[in-house]
Structure 1
Amino acid sequence: MNVLRQLQGFFWAKRSYLYLSILFLAIATALGLVTPILLRKLIDDVIMPKHFENVPMIALTVILVVILKAMMQFLSGMLGGRLGNYLAYRLRNGCYEKLQELSFRYYDTARTGDLMSRLTGDLEAIRLFIAFGIPQILNTILMVIFGAIMMLSISWQLTLVTMISIPFLVVVALRFENRIHPAFQEMRLALSSLTTSVQENITGVRTVKSFAREPYEVDKFSEKNERYKNNQIFASTLWSRYFPLMEMLACVCVVILLGVGGTLVIHKSLTLGGLVAFFSLIWYIIGPMWNIGYLINNYTQSEASGERVLELLNQQVDVKDKEDAVTLRAEDVKGHVTFDHVTFAYGNKLPAVKDIQLNAPSGSVIGILGGTGSGKSTIIQLLMHAYNVTEGSIRLDGVDIKDIKVQSLRSQIATVFQETFLFSSSIRNNIAYGLKDVTMDEIIRAAKLAKAHDFIMEMSEGYDTIVGERGMGLSGGQKQRIAIARALLKNPKILILDDATSAVDMETEHEIQSGFQEVMKGRTTFIIAHRISSLRHADEILVMNEGQIVQRGKHEQLIAKQGPYQDVYHIQYADHIARMNGNAGEQVSS
């Protein structure tokens, strides 16, 4: 119950629904006791003495009791359902809000399918238990108490004899719970892994098909499906052992009841009506004991699911606002960025960047060049406060970004990532993402600057064209230009282009760069690129290698001296240099 106590805050505001649901269910249970009493009266006071004139009254009473009991059960179910839906709504919102709060570090290892499983299947198991499981457990306790009291009032001797097998029922139920709980935990993990496999395959279907790896994916899925199937079979095996044993113990109770009870009737120690009533009441004891398996099943599933949901809700947020963090006013932000001896490492790994020093005045353009894993993107992510620096500090206009509210900081930054992500919506909504009260003219202007307007207008629905999931249906260059337009529309003080033109051709890149010249005015711009053509106009270029700055300066300075930058230049412009040397040779010979 510790897990449910931790989830209490999500439904406690509507605890009156829970109390009323339990109350109505308790009334329905109490009304159920009327039937055995009427049976006893019918046999002992009507049939045996042949007073048949009382039959209509007893029949009418039974009908009224049944109707009233049905009403109580309806009210209990309705209120329980409302409580469960309220809990699911609050819990779903809480989990989603938590996902928005979690920093990049969490998503570095999180699996989408696993998260989807927690927000759907796990959450539904919790909802069902809170809505109906808790009232049923309390109702089971009441049934046993009420039934035992009524049975004792009829014959305490017969009650004690028939209760012999009850302790065995309880022991079997408890042993079952100890074994079924780990089984359900493993089943949830297997389902999460299965969901993740499906999600990854659908997302990467183009890669799968391009490498003709469909058989491999089928085998991988079958392996995970086999694991889930085996967990289901194991749980079913536990159930198949549990129910026959519970039924056998229940039948033992009934056999003892009929044998001893019949003897008491023969010896006039118990009336026939009392025996019939007692037979009805015994199921008030055996029924709950038998049904306890279902209750344990529901509780165990909800507990296993609750543990997974709480694991998400209790995740530590690495990057969060300090209590005295400030909110930036857009009109006051200049965009002066400073890195002061910044070092950062992912977890326990070696530092991704080491001792980075950078001074980017307002309106300057900083280019970053380096190979894969050199730390280029890490610098940008640290500037966005996606991670906390290990050593040193990053300042915006002289204020440490740790002292600025994260949302306020990022509202002044627009980023175009190398891996472009578009939402399943219209092109217009994708460009205007996150902004309110944006005019169509502003959207078109941003699209024109990103050289996206022409191909958008060629589509059947223009800016209202719906793009597929993750931008499916568009080329890599088209998606990247829409992402650039989205960033430009934000009108940020700091613009980050993380290899933003890698998916476009050289001609389009030149056109986009020309548009950037106007956009970059008055903004601090960071350009990460593999092409020197994207960086040559930067005020300062940083050349990265193994997390360190190995060269820095303007294009003309770096190309004039030996080093990594010159090497990259010669590789990228080998044909151009050869043509220039060839032309120079022809002029000398002439």
Structure 2
Amino acid sequence: MSEQRQEHQGASRGPASGGPGRGPMGGPMGGMGGMGMPVQKAKNFKGTLRRLMGYLRPQRFKLLAVLVTAVLSTAFAIYSPKVLGNATTKLFEGMMGKINGDPNAHFDIAGIWQIVVFLAGLYVVSSIFSYIQQFLMAGVAQKTVYGLRNEVNAKLGKLPLKFFDSRTNGEILSRAVNDVDNISNTLQQSLTQLITSVITILGVIVMMLTISPWLTLILLLTLPLSMIVIRGAASRSQNHFKAQQMELGQLNGHVEEMYSGHKIVKAYGQEEISVAKFDKINERLYVSGWKAQFISGNIMPLMSMVSNIGYVFISVVGGIMVTRGTISIGNIQAFIQYARQFSMPLVQTANIANIIQSTIASAERVFELLDEEEEVLEAANDTDVKLASPKGDVALRNVSFGYKEDAMLIENMDIDVKSGQMVAIVGPTGAGKTTLVNLLMRFYEINDGSITIDGLDITRMKRGNLRSLFGMVLQDTWLFNGTIRDNIAYGREGVSEEEIVGAAKAAHADHFIRTLPEGYDTVLNEEASNLSQGQKQLLTIARAILADPAILILDEATSSVDTRTEVYIQKAMHELMQGRTSFVIAHRLSTIRDADLILVMNQGSIIEKGTHNELLAQNGFYADLYNSQFVGGGIQKSVG
């Protein structure tokens, strides 16, 4: 497998997979191993962030409500330890009075119950506001991502074929699915957690200052030590996490490659080599994963150690202050609770900062997709032009085309095809045969000249109207996960059962369909591997027959089937071509002897044209190709 593909296997899981660890509710596990995870960074963080915020602008009032509810929920939760400390103080005062023999000493049960009820009310109100916050944020996140996902889907429908030709399916899917999901998760979970963590940090500091500025200073002095611990562990583990992601990508790539080609692996006896390679990669993955998890897993124990050092100092100093009567024992209890609340939001904020970096990188990748150059816009005044009764006359006049402007593949091509003619296109690999078909259907725009159908320039028709004139039967069959009936009816809406069966009979597919357990209701799997190659080809021909197009494009459909199936397919294709203009990309020259016109292409130019006998009589390039297949010489000239 190439390095590019291996790299893609690691990346296709999306940036989210390389981000900080997440807890049961989807939020980052504060202080856990996620601190050392490698983070994909955006090239233009500020610009991408501003653009992403633009998608949130329609939800700004709900976001404001989220902020208000987050503040209220956190404020009530932060105030609760102070209230609980008051209850502890009352209990302590009553107990000390009894110990000292004060006859007026008593436990203020009523006052304590008031505090408990008030405390329960605080927790309930805090939970209610937290619920409202999550409810509102879920709507904000999903509506925002819903709009973004629709925009991405619409964009994919407007992109030219060259965009898909130059990128792997996995890369496009990663941007459209993984990156959008990463944005969704961050908006839903990490953004609210960031707001809550920041408010908690500020609120806890304020509450600690109201209790004791000196104890607050002691706690804050432990912060630099905490930062040193986090930074040291994160920097050491990050290299191991990077190695882990790289090895995981290689392992995924190796497994996919071996299992997709397991028959070839077995046929050549390469099982032991494949297993040995797997074991080697797996061993490297184990070592890097163990080191990464061990080092990053020590962050929380080290943070606990630093926190405990702070607790010791707070307890000692607080105890002295209690004995001197400068602070109540309930306030010391509250302060210790605040100290415990203080460290977690700090680590969570650091984790969320990594997640946001990854999310902005994902957003940047999505925006790059949205900014891709679209297909040439259709003429505003002529887009409703349709051919009411298409005949199939096709003409190319001085057509020039190149995938790059400085490297023309086709120059000054002229072709005249009359309705009902069969035109065969032959030539070596890279001659431009498929390119010519792509130009006819406007998958690519020509650089110069014109292409007309029945005298109408194809640029005056909507692409959908133009492509509805064509039917395609390709060498690589495409069938989707659905019933055989649905696959045959794919190219035409509102067809009846009789028409579907009629098309299948015309394609010589009806017999084998009825031998299947479910007949026309048989469900094809994702790769249609529950049918043979020949059966799949017959279904695509039945689909083309049912679509009833004016013009057919046929890629040699019999190169990978047995002789008997080839006969059926040839009969079905002959039935399909009756009365229609047909363009046949030919690999086996024996199949095009009866063609009305044969176009011989080489390096983007038509170097010969005529009937089979005329071209053989010329004793030129076509004759060499034909003889190389049937006389036995010149294999290097055989058609690609």
Normalising by structure 2, we get a TM-score of 0.77
2:605 to 548, 551, 571: 548
1:441 aligns with 2:486: no
Provide Cα deviations, 1:361-409, integer angstroms capped at 9, x if missing partner.
Answer: 4443221112233221221122222233455443444555455433332
2:284, 2:371 → 1: CA distance?
28
Give 1:457's aligned amino acid.
Answer: R
What CA distance in whole angstroms lies between the structure 1 residues aligned with 2:235 and 2:379?
Answer: 45
User: C-alpha root-mean-square deviation of aligned residues, in Å?
Assistant: 3.8
Task: Give per-residue Cα distances to partners, 1:512-564, cap 9 Å, x unaligned.
Answer: 55655564455332111123343233332101223322211122321222112
1:582 paired residue number? none
How far apart are residue 131 of structure 1 and its match?
0.6
SS, match of residue 222 in structure 2:
helix
Distance verdict in 2 for CA 1:229–1:347, change over 3 Å: farther
Give, in whole Å, the separation in 2 of the partners of 1:222 and 1:111.
Answer: 28
Q: Which moved more, 1:400-409 or 1:279-288?
A: 400-409
Q: Please, which runs of 5 or more residues in structure 2 have no aligned partner?
A: 1-44, 95-105, 633-640
Q: Which residue of 2 aligns with 1:578?
A: none
Correspondent of 2:377 among 316, 321, 333: 321
The counterpart of 1:416, out of the listed 473, 480, 484, is 473
1:171 and 1:555, CA in 2 relative to 1: closer, same or farther beyond 3 A? same
Does the Cα contact within 8 Å between 2:491 and 2:543 map onto a contact in 1? no
Aligned 1:388-403 pairs, distance under 5 A: 388-398=445-455, 400-402=457-459
Look up the match of 2:538.
481
Return the alpha-carbon distance in structure 1 between the equivalents of residues 520 and 163 of structure 2.
Answer: 35
Contact 2:597 2:610 in 1 (8 A): yes
More displaced, 405-414 or 69-78?
69-78
Task: Note if 1:331 corresponds to 2:385.
Answer: no
Of 34, 52, 56, the match for 2:108: 52
Residue 535 of structure 1 is matched in structure 2 by: 592
CA contact (8 A) 1:184 1:301 kept: no
Could you say which residue in structure 2 is the equivalent of 1:579? Answer: none
CA 1:303/1:189 → structure 2, altered by over 3 Å: closer, same or farther? farther
2:83 is matched with which residue?
38
The answer (yes or no) to whether the contact 1:197–1:221 under 8 Å persists in 2 is: yes
In structure 2, distance between residues paired with 1:214 and 1:110: 31
Q: 1:276 is matched with which residue: 333, 337, 343?
A: 333
Aligned counterpart for 2:345 among listed residues 288, 293, 315: 288
SS of residue in 2 equivalent to 1:470? coil
Alignment of 1:371-520 (within 5 A): 371-398=428-455, 400-402=457-459, 404-504=461-561, 516=573, 519-520=576-577
Secondary structure in 2 matching 1:469: coil
CA shift digits 1:464-493 (9 cap, x unpaired):
222333221322222112111212222222
Q: Distance in 1 between matches of 2:250 and 2:404?
A: 24
Q: How many residues align?
A: 574
Query: Which shifted more, 264-273 or 427-436?
Result: 264-273
The match for 1:143 is: 200
Distance change >3 Å, CA 212–CA 458, structure 1 → 2 = farther
Q: Cα–Cα, structure 1 residues 254 and 507, in superposed 2: closer, same or farther, change >3 Å? A: closer
| Corresponding residue for residue 426 of structure 2 | 369
- Corresponding residue number in structure 2 for 1:586: none
Q: State the one-letter code of the partner of 1:526.
A: F
- Residues 1:7 and 1:523: Cα distance change in structure 2 (over 3 Å): farther
Report deviation, 1:427. Answer: 1.5
Q: 1:294 is paired with a residue of what secondary structure? A: helix
Q: Judging changes above 3 Å, is the alpha-carbon distance between structure 1 residues 332 and 560 closer, same or farther for their aligned structure 2 residues?
A: same
1:207 positional shift: 4.7
- Structure 1 residue corresponding to 2:68, chosen from 23, 26, 51: 23
Provide, for residues 270-301 of structure 1, a one-character-per-residue CA deviation record: whole Å limited to 9, x for no partner. Answer: 23232222222233432311333432353344
Which residue pairs with 2:293 in the alignment?
A: 236
Query: TM-score w.r.t. structure 1 length?
Result: 0.83
Q: Secondary structure, in 3 states, of the residue corresponding to 2:476?
A: coil
Post-superposition CA distance 1:212-240 (Å, at most 9, x none): 55455556666766676676556536624
1:129 aligns with 2:186: yes
User: Which one-letter code corresponds to 1:321 in the other structure?
Assistant: L
Give the match's secondary structure for 2:185.
Answer: helix
Q: Is residue 152–residue 159 contact of structure 1 (8 Å, CA) maintained in 2?
A: yes
- Percent identity, please: 33
Q: Within 1, Cα distance between the matches of 2:262 and 2:175?
A: 24
Tell me, yes or no, if the aligned pair for 2:594 and 2:612 is still in contact at 8 Å: yes
- For residues 121 and 472 of structure 1, do their structure 2 counterparts lie closer, same or farther at Cα, with a shift above 3 Å needed? same
SS of the residue aligned with 1:497? strand
Task: Check 1:363–1:9 CA distance in 2 against 1; reply closer, same or farther (3 A cut).
Answer: farther
Unaligned 5+ runs, structure 1: 576-590
In structure 2, relative to structure 1, the CA distance for the partners of 1:276 and 1:513 (3 Å cut) is: closer
Instruction: Give the AA of the match of 2:108.
Output: F
* Structure 2 residue matching 1:141: 3-state secondary structure: helix
Deviation at 1:67, TM superposition (A): 2.7
Q: Which letter maps to 1:462?
A: G
State whether structure 2 residue 216 is matched by structure 1 residue 159. Answer: yes
Tell me whether 1:560 sits opposite 2:617 in the alignment: yes
Contact 1:114–1:192, Cα closer than 8 Å, also in 2: no
Contact 2:87 2:116 in 1 (8 A): no
Tell me what 1:580 maps to. Answer: none
- Structure 2 CA distance for aligned equivalents of residues 496 and 25 of structure 1: 61
- For residues 217 and 96 of structure 1, the distance between their equivalents in structure 2, rounded to whole angstroms, comes to 39
Tell me which residue corresponds to 2:18.
Answer: none
Measured in 1, the distance between the counterparts of 2:333 and 2:202 equals: 19
Q: Which moved more, 1:258-267 or 1:479-488?
A: 258-267
Instruction: Please tell me whether the aligned partners of residues 113 and 192 of structure 1 are also in contact (alpha carbons under 8 angstroms).
Output: no
Identify which of structures 1 and 2 has the higher relative contact order when contacts are C-alpha pairs closer than 8 Å and 6+ apart. 2
Aligned mates of 2:315, 2:327 — CA distance in 1: 12
Pair 213,450 (structure 1): closer, same or farther in 2 beyond 3 Å: farther
**Secondary structure in 1 matching 2:524:** coil
